[in-house]
C-alpha cells in the first residue's frame, strides 16, 4: 500500500494518507484523552459528503501531546521512517480504532442535528435595560 506521510514540526502534527496522496477529508477523533488527538481521516466526495471510507491518520499535537504518552511512536516522526515503522504505526492506530473508534457522522447529518436542536430549544427572553 502506498502512503503519503507528512510530519510538520511547526504545526506539530502528523498526517498519513492511504493511497499515496492526500484526498479531501475530515478528521474524526478516535483517542483524545491522552494529551493529544489520534484521528482517522474520513474521505469526502465532490459534494463534501462523507464517503465513510477511512483515507488516512491524523495526529495532533504530535511532539507536544501524543508522543509524550505514546513514545513508541517517536520513530514515525523522523525523516523517512522505514516501512516497518510505518506499518507498526498503522497497526497501533487500527487497534485504537477497533477499541474505541467510531467516525463522526457525515457533516450534513451533524448540521441537521444542530438545526433540529436549535428549533426545539426554548426561546431566550429578551434582556431589558431599565
Render pLDDT for 50-78 as a digit per residue (tens, 0 to 9): 898 999 999 999 988 888 888 999 999 99
By the 8 A CB rule, do 85 and 76 touch?
Answer: yes
DSSP string, 111-125: HHHHHHHHHHSPPPP
pLDDT of residue 129: 66
pLDDT of residue 128: 66
Query: Which of 109, 106, 96 is CA-nearest to residue 31?
Result: 96
Instruction: Compute CA distances 41 → 75, 121, 129, whole Å.
Output: 21, 32, 49
3-state secondary structure of 10: coil
Cα–chain-centroid distance for residue 97? 11
Residue 43 has pLDDT above 70, yes or no: yes
Backbone dihedral angles phi then psi of residue 81, each to the nearest 5 degrees: -65, 150
Amino acid at each position: 500500500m502506498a502512503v503519503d506521510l507528512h510530519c510538520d514540526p511547526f504545526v506539530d502534527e502528523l498526517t498519513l494518507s492511504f493511497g499515496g496522496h492526500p484526498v479531501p477529508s475530515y478528521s474524526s477523533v478516535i483517542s483524545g484523552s491522552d494529551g493529544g488527538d489520534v484521528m482517522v481521516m474520513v474521505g469526502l466526495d465532490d459534494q463534501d459528503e462523507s464517503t465513510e471510507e477511512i483515507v488516512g491518520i491524523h495526529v495532533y499535537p504530535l511532539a507536544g501531546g501524543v508522543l509524550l504518552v505514546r513514545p513508541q511512536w517517536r520513530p514515525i516522526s523522523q525523516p523517512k521512517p522505514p516501512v516497518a515503522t510505518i506499518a507498526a504505526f498503522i497497526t497501533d492506530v487500527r487497534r485504537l480504532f477497533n477499541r474505541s473508534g467510531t467516525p463522526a457522522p457525515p457533516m450534513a447529518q451533524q448540521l441537521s442535528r444542530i438545526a433540529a436542536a436549535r428549533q426545539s430549544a426554548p426561546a431566550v427572553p429578551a434582556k431589558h435595560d431599565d
